[in-house]
Structure 1
């Protein structure tokens, strides 16, 4: 009985972690500003703005 309860707790923990990751990823809204050069696109803390086909795209910094 105790092992089943522990399994349920661990399962709830993993599911909640995945839900938090999904919500955090969906909160990031891509920037769709128009641009001519890479300098026209804003840079953030974790990404670099690049101009591709007239629109700003963000690339993650690693």
Structure 2
């Protein structure tokens, strides 16, 4: 009985470890695959206006936010 309990605990640990590694890798890939499609800016006035979107200058790039 003790052997079965140890096996299930080990299996749970392996599953959790795999999930954390997967989440970590996904976050790394998503962060590195981010491509700036907007133009560089200094102020909000330099960002173009697009229908249903409000453009703001954030961290040196124009970022579009949907208007609710």
Tell me the TM-score normalized by structure 1: 0.53
Any unmatched runs of 5+ in structure 2? 1-6, 50-54
Give the root-mean-square deviation of aligned CA atoms: 3.8
Cross-structure match for 1:57: 61
Structure 1: which 4+ aligned runs deviate by more than 4 Å?
A: 34-37
Per chain length, whose mean CA-contact separation is higher, i.e. which structure has more relative contact order (CA < 8 Å, sep 6+)? 1
Equivalent pairs, count:
56
Asked which structure has the greater CA Rg, the reply is: 2
Tell me the TM-score normalized by structure 2: 0.50
